[in-house]
Structure 1
Amino acid sequence: MNEEQHTIITSNISLKTERKETEKSLMQKDRWYGEEDLGMRLNQHEGVKSIYFGNIRQNWLKDITKYYILYRRYQGKSFGTLREYIKAIQHFSRFLETQCVYYFTDITDEVLSSYLGNMHSLSEKTQKHRLSHIKIFFELGNSNNWFQISTYWFRGRLGDAKPKNNKINYIPNEVSSQIDIYLYLLAKPLQRMVLLLRALGLRGSELLQMRFDCLKQRMSGDWEIHFTNWKFKERHDVLPIVPELAEIIKEQQTYIRTHLGEDFEYLFCANTYESNGFKFFKAKSKVMLLQQFNIYLNQWAESCNICDESGKLWKFTSHQFRRTVATKMTNEGVRQYIIQRYLRHHSPDMMQHYAHILPSTFKKEIEGLHKRKKIVDVTGLEVSISNPEIENDIELRWLRSKMQPKALAMGFCARPQLLKPCPHANACMDCQHFRLDEDDLPTLTQHLERNQKLKEESERLGYIRQLKEIEQDEAKLINIIKSLENANG
């Protein structure tokens, strides 16, 4: 197929969107900027702002790839994911230069087998990722009639890569001990970052893009840290934290306001110094790049000669702290679904990469994450979260109510999640599925005081029907409060 025929084919491609002019303009450019051209929010900690098509050597492949990237953008894929697609196609393009391939019709099973052999220097995981991206590219091209390529060759070659526990990259005890010894040699902002990572198992994106006002205190006096889970559609997440961590966050807030003023929106910032930046820190008004944070950690490790038990210099990444939190929880016997909730994984499958590192008896659990509290319904009767008569996942929803933002002013809902939307809007206190615990006592007391004032006003005005309803609510509140107060002795 010649260039003229290819031009005719690509000119007939349409993504059936209202962005025709944008598409036409983008097709003329080899560099697309995430914010300006694609209207996407970029992760500040990654530092990459554009996608470049110039390294795709074949014009016929480059043109179709541009449509493919737009198609995936409109499907809601993240900027980072689009970049991974481009990397895979660029790698495939470099290989095709060594083959007698002049159009998609020339990509045969033999060519794909040669491509697999050409990837021998890459890890098994990277090979499967690259092949998976190419396969999806081919499938979408076929379904949209951009080209036709058989994908039969891929069958059986893309099985899930199982984690090899002896290669899982968590921080062993001997390295962790050296972190304790040499932590003071890190610059203060970096110390605080490491302490939060070690305690909470945050993702690097969550830590580096954490908002300045992330720290919240509940009416009970307990502290929570609020942050955005950038991996899953910018979801808002919450974790309970101990007072010591709250003090560390307050120290960092003071540092930011002192050095960057009121306008900087993040808890952590970049460092003006790159060389020896692990010990000298001058605040810079931008988000620190994840790559740079890892560089600081490894400058520190080299300076302090932090080694594993074999004497080999340890190479840090931010994600190791997350894996280490999971490893410790697993080894303490914390239930797997609690670890899944704590690390905010969407599926138990992700725990295969964390939970099987160390042998565990699963005989105990971290008290702070799963403290048994008295839970009552709207009649004041205690409801056991392990009661088989209650829905099987009530315990998980109780945990989620403690570790994620509440949708209710107090208490939590124990309705089975598969039921239809709640028919009791704004009527929780009359619902058999409503649950409360000791943390809700302050709010319940406020409700009771407000209720008593309404009662006095209704009596003064002679509102008989309203007075009866208020008295019923008052009796419920008193019953619930007494029941919960008895739990505290």
Structure 2
Amino acid sequence: MIKITQRITASAVWDIEGTEVRLPYRKVYPEPVMRKKIEDYRSALESRTYEQDNTGLCEAFTVFGGIAFVAIGLSCREEFLRCFSYYAMQFAREWADEEKRLKSKYIGYEYVFAKMLQNEAVRIHYDFRYILDQANGGDFCQMNEDAFAEYWIPVILPLMKSGSSLAEVAKRVGDVRVSRYLMQIPAQTLAYFKSIAGSYTKRRELISLTKMNNFILGNDSRTEFAGAEPDFLKLLKQITEEETEIQRTRFIKENRKEMSLYKDVWILYERHGTGLKRLTVDFCKVNQPSFRKEIKCFLKVRFSGHIRASDRSCLSIFDAVNRICEMNGCIRYFSDIDHIDVKKLQLSLEQEMDQSKIMTMFSACRTLYRYLCSDGNDSKLPKPHSNPFESLHFVNAKKYHKITPYIPDKVIEELSDRLEELDETDRLVFQIFSETGMRAKEVAFLEEDCLETARYDGAVRLKYIPYKTLKARRCNGIGEYHRVYISAELAEKIKKQITASEILRREHTLPYIFLHQKKGYKAAMLNVEYLITKINKLIHKYEICDDSGELWNFTSRQCRKTLVVNMIENGATTMELVYQLGHLNQSTVMQYYAEVKSARLAEMNTRFFKEQFQLLLSNEQLATFSEEERRLLYVDFRLGKRRVEFGFCTRKLCDGACKSRSRSVHCANCPHLCTGMKYLPFWKKLLQAQEAQMQEIIKGYQRVEIADYEEYIEYRQEKQLLAAYRNIVETIEKSGGS
């Protein structure tokens, strides 16, 4: 029944099939006319004639107005919502044909109403944003979402079936909606995720949650993005973890299959804590294809046992082969290379490469030839009769390797003040490096039972595996673990780290205390290289420089060297150093002693004498003095025994009597003179007096009309003295300014 139940001035309350609706009361629309309009509107909704022509809807809207149009429509709720849903689908299709992108949380219902009431014959101008002021807009927004899902899911399905990315769809409708659409088709989504994960394993690429997320939704997407469907994230994480477990075992087992002579790219893996480390060998980098088979046979034997992902010897072999082929285009196989080609290679490398890198390259090539000349060579190619790299010997090879420097006190003091900017774990690792001198891998793989109580009261020992000497320890029947004493403070911090990592250790059944996991990432081992990068960023940020004024470049090995230097300077014996460092002999320790001795000699340098006496000593003046002689020189300077006019003399007593005293120019032009800033006023007075003296001499020659006076001994002596004074003044001023 449709009737008026109440009139209030210019409006009337209508009862439309049990629903109360307030409509404006106008004379042009008496009750019978208005009733007929309402019935026509409801009839249009029930018969769905709007699908062919929406004129009826538009005419009803012009009569009732926006809010009443919705209210009357909701009196037959199911039919009105069906009408809205129809136009929501029309809007979704039209929107998909354009290039717009959805960025809002909800799809606005105003666009659908604008589409519903768009008619050339009946023009409507209305702000549809406020059309639902008296109705719940949630249902309408949901219908919009359903319409978009109904349109885009059929678009997504063929992409999923072909294993393609959904990034283009995500750009149009957003990551959140794609995650919802996927969970509306869970069976297809599960198969899609497994297909993507399997493709990583098939091409031997390590999988991760970030890679999976970015492939599906595009590189701009973030892992665990806000608003994502929880079931989507859960399923994605589950599939990634399952595939990770498969890769951990399969990649190691398939290393042998990967090392095929018919493949030009080998992707090899080794176990590294919870994950894997990758080594890629690209034989396409060898420019001459005929060499590739021999190198493949050699590397197949080299990697037949344990694969080391850090092994980069193959790269130096590739470089050497390419260079030799460039110099001699007739070479096709390794058997064609002779010692002349190798010598040419060495001469060319010395122009552009450090000697240590040349030795590394030649060592790798020498190892390759030993295999090619042996009976184990199964390349079926011409076999070399000799090893041309054996004829080259590098004398004093150790001197060419760059020695790891120890950290100066100045750098340590400034860096210690800035370490608070690092997190607690990074500070703990740095303290372990500094206090124990352990290597990076030894710290990264510390185990849960690494702390032991020593036999002395209150003392604690740290137990670790010295991986660098592990093989030698086993050969010599020494236990795998080495132990060093640590402070109680460090032991307490390590205990906290052991407790903090307990849950992760149980979950992954691993003993390592520096196992960690960040949100959105899988569990990983300590990355020492990343820690070094963060410390160097601090050094650059605060411009921490060494004594020469250059920015310090930190490496973990420097802590080990610094500990050794401090122990030697505090009187540590050779055996104490051997024990602390875990060495098996004294040879390396003796090298450290020699380095510290030379470092002490270098400390008494020109800067030292300048700071102590405000004197300028050149490197040439100090070069001939040993460490003991420099100490004696320092004592003589302190006692004033070597004082001369305006400075000190550095002449050695064993050189005999001073030869400059009998000359007209004494110390001013002597290479042994050592002067400084405090003598500058006197040297300036001498320079001014000498300049005046030269002017007087020249005027005297001009008065007696002598033109060739420049050849006179008197003039030359005075000019030489003037040049000596000027040189000393300029040198002092330059050093004082710097």
TM-score per shorter chain, which class? 0.5 to 0.7
Between the aligned partners of 1:45 and 1:319, the Cα distance in structure 2 is: 25
Whether contact under 8 Å (1:205, 1:230) holds in the other structure is yes
One-letter code of the match for 2:299?
I
Paired with 2:326 and 2:598, the residues of 1 have a C-alpha distance of: 50
Structure 2 residue corresponding to 1:129, chosen from 360, 366, 386 = 360
* Contact map agreement 1:138 1:149 (CA 8 A) in 2: no
Could you tell me which residue of structure 2 aligns to residue 95 of structure 1?
323
Answering whether residue 28 of structure 2 is matched by residue 28 of structure 1, we say no
Which residue, 501, 507, 522 being the options, matches 1:263?
A: 507
1:251 maps to 496
The aligned residue for residue 210 of structure 1 is: 446
1:323 aligns with 2:575: no
Give the equivalent residue in structure 1 for 2:369: 138
In structure 2, relative to structure 1, the CA distance for the partners of 1:169 and 1:223 (3 Å cut) is same
Assess, with a 3 A threshold, how the Cα gap between structure 1 residues 91 and 152 changes in structure 2: closer, same or farther. Answer: closer
| Distance in 2 between residues matched to 1:164 and 1:142, nearest whole Å | 29
Greater gyration radius: 2
Query: Counterpart of 1:354 in 2: which secondary structure?
Result: helix
The structural deviation recorded for 1:156 is 4.9
Residue pairs, 1:403-418, within 5 angstroms: none
Shift of 1:337: 3.5
Q: 2:289 aligns with which of 29, 54, 59?
A: 59
**Cα deviation, residue 163, structure 1:** 4.0
TM-score (norm: length of structure 2): 0.40
TM alignment of 1:339-350, pairs within 5 A: 339-350=577-588
1:385-424 map, 5 Å: none
Q: Distance in 1 between matches of 2:470 and 2:271?
A: 11
Q: Look up the match of 1:172.
A: 408
Distance across 2 between alignment mates of 1:341 and 1:105: 48
User: What's the offset of the Cα at 1:321?
Assistant: 0.8
Root mean square deviation, CA, Å: 3.6
| Equivalent position to 2:398, from 140, 151, 162 | 162
Q: CA deviation at 1:184?
A: 1.8
CA distance in structure 1 between the aligned counterparts of 2:517 and 2:532, rounded to whole angstroms: 13
Instruction: Verify: 1:79 aligned to 2:308, yes or no.
Output: yes
> SS state of the match for residue 452, structure 2?
strand
Write the letter of the residue equivalent to 2:595: I
Give unpaired runs (5+ residues) of structure 2: 1-252, 378-382, 472-479, 600-738
| In 1: Cα distance, 2:505 partner to 2:412 partner | 35
Could you report, residue by residue, the CA deviation over 1:305-349 in whole angstroms, capped at 9, with x for unpaired residues? 221012211111111111111222222232223322321234433
Name the counterpart of 2:334. 104
Residues 278-318 of structure 1: CA deviation (Å, up to 9, x unaligned): xxxx9972013333222112112112222101221111111
Match in the other structure for 1:401: none
AA aligned to 1:297 is: I
SS in structure 1 at match of 2:544? coil
**What letter matches 2:589 in structure 1?**
M
Q: Which amino acid aligns with 1:241?
A: I
Deviations 1:26-48 (A, max 9, x none): 3333444444xxxx545789944
Q: How far apart are the structure 2 equivalents of 1:319 and 1:45? A: 25
| CA distance 1:187–1:163, change in 2 (3 Å) | farther
| Corresponding position: 1:335 with 2:573 | yes
Q: Is 1:356 the equivalent of 2:356?
A: no
1:386-419 deviations in Å (ceiling 9; x for gaps): xxxxxxxxxxxxxxxxxxxxxxxxxxxxxxxxxx
- Structure 1: any 5+ residue segments left out of the alignment? 1-18, 274-281, 362-489
**Structure 1 contact 171–320 (Cα < 8 Å) conserved:** yes
Q: Given that residues 406 and 561 in structure 2 are in contact (C-alpha distance below 8 angstroms), is that contact kept between their aligned partners in structure 1?
A: yes
Offset of residue 107 of structure 1 = 1.0
| Greater length-normalized contact order (CA 8 Å, ≥ 6 residues apart) | 1
TM-score for the superposition, normalised by structure 1? 0.58
For these two proteins, the number of residue pairs brought into alignment is 328
The answer as to whether partners of 1:45 and 1:289 remain within 8 angstroms in 2 is: no
Letter in 2 for 1:242: S
1:122 and 1:59 map into 2 onto residues whose CA distance is 26
2:462 matched to 1:225?
Answer: yes
| Bigger proportion of residues as helix | 2
CA distance change for structure 1 residues 200 and 208 in 2, over 3 Å: closer, same or farther?
same
d(CA) in 1 for partners of 2:286, 2:265: 12
Which position in structure 2 is the counterpart of 1:303?
541
Structural mapping, 1:168-207, within 5 Å: 168-207=404-443
Identity of aligned residues (%): 20
Q: C-alpha separation between the residues in 2 aligned to 1:52 and 1:241?
A: 45
Q: Is the 8 A contact 1:169 1:323 kept in 2?
A: yes
